């Protein structure tokens, strides 16, 4: 695929599977702040600090939030073509699963091993304590989230990127926190606008979960409708 993300007449999701290019200096600063927030989230869960100590930290964070709220938020005023192109370029960096900028994301680190009809991707992730479900295990819902993203990148790398129509996850074995996990995802077949994908999750040699995903490649008019809906929401 050589099309430019966000270019006129192209599929606006065209760049989805391409790793974000070099981040802008501003985005690098966002990642630095996001990493501190990740550390803070682990502390909130695990600290035994006193109430007064926790409230001191709360006040520190609140003053930081207030200083940012008072500053510019041009991106929130609706998206023009340039903003859309910029956004497409940094789509991955803002994802709640892959995004280094987004503290909701661990994040998962993903590599496209092969493009085209047999597209294959691999993702690596070490979930921390805030993602715990059963004791010591990754929350099953976040395993599903990661599969959605891994299979989404795989189907995007097939050349006809779209949106998830069905996601199925079979949980085979408890998935440990604080251990490196490996997700694999690949395209199985393409039928018209339907892209069929499958994936696995391993910890070492242990198969922890399997998944299949059906994606429907997106018509340009749907993308326009979503953008209109997005702007009317603001």
Rule CB under 8 A: choose which of 56, 124, 204, 206 binds its own copies.
56
Q: How far is the CB of 111 from its own copies (least distance, A)?
A: 19
Long-range contacts of 80-87 (CB under 8 A, 24+ apart): 81/6, 84/6, 84/12, 84/227, 85/4, 85/5, 85/6, 85/7, 87/6
Q: How far is the CB of 17 from its own copies (least distance, A)?
A: 14
| CA nearest neighbour of 94 among 45, 24, 167 | 24
Tokens of 164: 């998830």
For its own copies, the binding residues in 70-89 under the rule CB under 8 A are: 71-76, 79
Tokens of 71: 């500053």
Q: Mask: binding to its own copies, 208-227, rule CB under 8 A, as x and -?
A: ----------x----x--xx
Q: Is 26 in the site for its own copies (CB under 8 A)?
A: yes
Q: How far is the CB of 168 from its own copies (least distance, A)?
A: 5
Q: Is 8 in the site for its own copies (CB under 8 A)?
A: no
From 1-9, 118-126, 173-181, 184-192, span contacting its own copies (CB under 8 A) = 173-181
Quick one: 19 or 206, whose CB is closer to its own copies?
Answer: 206
Tokens of 64: 């930081």
For its own copies, the binding residues in 88-127 under the rule CB under 8 A are: 94-97, 101-104
Residue 180 backbone phi and psi in degrees, to 5: -70, 130
In sequence order, what are the residues at sequence separation of 6 or more whose Cβ sits closer than 8 angstroms to the Cβ of residue 205?
Answer: none
From 1-9, 59-67, 111-119, 194-202, span contacting its own copies (CB under 8 A) = 59-67
Q: How far is the CB of 172 from its own copies (least distance, A)?
A: 9
In the block, tokens 């989805």 appear at 16
From 35-43, 110-118, 182-190, 191-199, span contacting its own copies (CB under 8 A) = 35-43
- Residue 6 gets the label, from left (phi > 0), alpha (psi -120 to 50) or beta, of left
Count of residues in contact with its own copies, rule CB under 8 A: 95
Tokens of 202: 């391993």
CB 21 within 8 A of CB 89: yes
From 110-118, 159-167, 182-190, 193-201, span contacting its own copies (CB under 8 A) = 159-167
Rule CB under 8 A: choose which of 10, 23, 41, 85 binds its own copies.
41
């Amino acid at each position: 695929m050589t099309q430019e993300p966000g270019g006129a007449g192209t599929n606006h999701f065209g760049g989805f599977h391409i790793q974000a290019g070099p981040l802008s200096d501003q985005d690098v600063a966002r990642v630095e702040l996001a990493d501190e927030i990740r550390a803070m989230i682990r502390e909130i869960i695990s600290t035994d600090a006193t109430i007064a100590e926790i409230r001191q930290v709360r006040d520190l964070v609140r003053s930081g939030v207030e200083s940012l709220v008072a500053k510019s938020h041009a991106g929130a005023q609706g998206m023009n073509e340039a903003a859309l192109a910029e956004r497409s370029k940094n789509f991955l960096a803002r994802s709640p699963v892959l995004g280094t900028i987004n503290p909701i994301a661990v994040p998962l680190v993903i590599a496209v091993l092969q493009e085209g009809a047999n597209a294959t991707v691999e993702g690596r992730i070490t979930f921390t304590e805030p993602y715990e479900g059963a004791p010591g295990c990754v929350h099953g819902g976040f395993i599903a989230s990661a599969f959605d993203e891994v299979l989404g990148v795989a189907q995007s790398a097939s050349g006809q990127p779209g949106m998830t129509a069905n996601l199925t996850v079979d949980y085979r074995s408890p998935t440990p926190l604080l251990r490196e996990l490996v997700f694999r995802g690949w395209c199985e077949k393409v039928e018209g606008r339907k892209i069929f994908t499958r994936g696995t999750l391993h910890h070492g040699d242990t198969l922890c979960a399997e998944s299949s995903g059906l994606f429907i490649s997106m018509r340009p008019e749907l993308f326009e409708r979503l953008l209109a809906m997005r702007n009317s929401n603001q």
